[in-house]
Amino acid sequence: MFYYLLKYVLLGPLLRLVFRPRIEGLEHVPSSGPAIIAGNHLSFSDHFLMPAVLKRRITFLAKAEYFTGPGLKGKLTAFFFHSVGQIPVDRSGKEAGQAAIREGLGVLSKGELLGIYPEGTRSHDGRLYKGKVGVAVMALKAGVPVIPCAMIGTFEAQPPGKVVPRIHPVRIRFGEPLDFSRYAGMENEKAVLRAVTDEIMYAILALSGQEYVDKYAAVVKAEEAERKSAGGEKRRLRRAS
């Protein structure tokens, strides 16, 4: 109930009024039945803007940190994500990927839309990064189509670290459904999963026009953090010498 109140009465109309998102390809999203919507992830705002423009309810696999934050802000955030039906996924540990796949397949088994960001995390620089194969596993196991989606302008509207988004033109593009039925029963083949995931990412790339990086976003973030840390240590040593 709260999901629809938020979508049609509270947050949805406000988002459409402020951002006036331009929507393209909405007809590619099926009016019924299970499907995966796989999109790029540029901003925290993505969680709200895409559901606001869809006619159907969509459930995202959200990182567990959104549900475990401290203080009043943490409790309000957890309440919000629980209320709109988002599913917390622990991204740490060996079983994290399998847990996310189980949760996603549960959503699809009920004939619903599942939203997923194959990059696994928000882009920190606006580029599109290599996708993780979990989306391919779910698409093949559930036998459902994958609709690529590109969020354009949300990085500029709310880049990492910015709490209050600024008004900026936003465009949301949905591509034609990708059918992977030719790979039925091959969800344990690593080469197949990589090929399916890459096809999904290239479809997102064609819609978004981003620069593509053939590395995982989390790896690049870690590398950049390490370089910054090493640079800071060198500066400290120079000052001390």
Alpha-helical segments (H) within the chain: 2-5, 11-19, 46-53, 71-83, 96-109, 134-142, 154-157, 190-208, 217-240
At 92 the pLDDT is 62
Domain ranges of the chain: 2-214
| Burial track 120-141 (b if 16+ CB lie within 10 A, e otherwise) | bebbbebbbbbbbbbbbbbbbb
- How far apart CA 41 and CA 31 sit, in angstroms, is 24
120 in Cβ contact with 217 (< 8 Å): yes
Q: What is the pLDDT of residue 233?
A: 61
pLDDT digits (tens, 9 = 90+) for 24-55: 999 999 999 999 999 999 988 888 888 888 98
Please report, as a single letter, which amino acid is at residue 71: G
Percent of the chain with pLDDT over 90: 51
Among 175, 172, 220, 131, smallest CA distance to 45 is for 172
Q: What is the pLDDT of residues 182-215, one digit of tens each?
A: 999 999 999 999 999 999 999 999 999 999 999 9
Rg for the chain, CA atoms, rounded: 19
Residue 110 has what pLDDT? 96
Q: Classify 2-214 by CATH class.
A: alpha beta
Q: What is the pLDDT of residue 238?
A: 67
Euclidean distance between CA atoms 27 and 24, whole angstroms: 8
Tens of pLDDT, residues 90-148: 666 556 678 889 989 999 999 999 999 999 888 999 999 999 999 999 999 999 999 99
For residue 8, pLDDT over 60 is answered with no
What are the CB-based long-range contacts (under 8 Å, 24+) for 236-240? none
Report pLDDT for 229: 76
